[in-house]
């Protein structure tokens, strides 16, 4: 049985949960699922909407739309990784702005600086990094 998903975030979430992508037509991702897995498939589509992955995806989308503007740098805390920047936003770090491909964050204490660095490292081994990789892979499918 084939199921079509138009939302790339839901598609990446399903791939993360071991559902196999069968094909892509236009902007639709087609999954071939066993009828016995249909309830799990539908439940995952719904659970994605209230998951932290949906929040992460919305942070990514917001960062993509962010335009550059003149702001006082005053910070050595930045990343050029969109996914990492979204992860930092999820952890309540305040974004100062964007210059070129870099996202700058406000850090006001040594404790915050330590947390910032820890979270950047944590991101690289997290499920959110895996989700982001799946999003990027799905975008590349013609």
**pLDDT category, 40, cuts 50, 70, 90?**
very high
Coil vs helix vs strand at 118: helix
Token pair for 36: 């016995």
* Residues 77 and 107: beta-carbon distance below 8 Å: yes
Distance CA 139, CA 121 (A): 25
13-25 mean pLDDT: 96
- For the question of whether the overall pTM of this predicted structure is more than 0.85, the answer is yes
**pLDDT category, 100, cuts 50, 70, 90?**
confident
Q: Is residue 54's pLDDT more than 90?
A: yes
Angle between helix axes 52-65 and 127-140 (nearest 10 degrees) is 60
What are the sequence ranges of the domains in the chain? 1-50, 65-142
Distance CA 131, CA 15 (A): 9
């Amino acid at each position: 049985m084939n199921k079509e998903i138009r939302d790339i975030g839901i598609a990446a979430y399903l791939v993360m949960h071991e559902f196999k992508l069968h094909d892509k037509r236009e902007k639709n991702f087609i999954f071939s699922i066993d009828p016995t897995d249909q309830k799990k498939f539908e439940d995952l589509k719904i659970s994605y909407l209230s998951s932290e992955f949906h929040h992460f995806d919305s942070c990514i989308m917001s960062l993509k739309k962010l335009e550059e503007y003149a702001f006082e740098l005053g910070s050595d805390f930045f990343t050029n990784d969109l996914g990492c920047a979204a992860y930092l936003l999820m952890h309540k770090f305040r974004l100062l702005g964007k210059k070129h491909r870099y996202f700058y964050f406000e850090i006001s204490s040594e404790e915050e600086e330590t947390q910032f660095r820890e979270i950047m490292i944590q991101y690289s081994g997290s499920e959110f990094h895996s989700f982001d990789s799946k999003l990027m892979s799905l975008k590349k499918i013609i």
